[in-house]
Amino acid sequence: MATKQPPEPPAEGAASPANGGLSEADVVAMHSDPRFLLLKQRLYRFIFPMSLAFMVWYLLYVLMSAFARDLMSTPVLGQFNLALVFGVLQFVTTFGIAILYSSYSRKNLDPAAADVRKALEEKAADE
């Protein structure tokens, strides 16, 4: 029984179907394109501060649960204490960040990504 051989990788510098018909050199060259750099800058402008803020918020919750037990056990509403409220707010924060990212992406990242994609498609069509 013959075994199926994987397809040969394209020759160095040749167009690859995995890259949308672009050569590896074209894809690497796009990494220094101002449109791609703008896309990366916009992405990082959102993810780094948001990630840092969420990590600080999460660590505050963990540290207060470990070292401020009296404060965290303070009743807020009936059987609900401050620790439970903080825990629920962790989920609310997570969903809030996801919604903010979706909105930010739609306004700032998607148009820039479309520009980069269009440039790459034009480059592939020229070859």
> According to the model, what pLDDT value does residue 120 have?
85
> According to the model, what pLDDT value does residue 30 have?
83
pLDDT in tens, the chain (127 residues): 566 766 555 555 555 555 566 778 877 888 888 999 999 999 999 999 999 999 999 999 999 999 999 999 999 999 999 999 999 999 999 999 999 999 999 999 999 999 998 988 887 777 6
- Taking CA atoms, 114 is separated from 78, 88, 96, in Å, by 52, 37, 26
Across the chain, what does the average pLDDT equal? 87
Task: Report domain extents, the chain.
Answer: 24-126
pLDDT in tens, 25-55: 877 888 888 999 999 999 999 999 999 999 9
Q: Which of 86, 49, 93 is nearest to 69 (CA)?
A: 86
> According to the model, what pLDDT value does residue 27 have?
78
Q: Tell me the backbone φ, ψ of residue 4, rounded to 5 degrees.
A: -80, 125
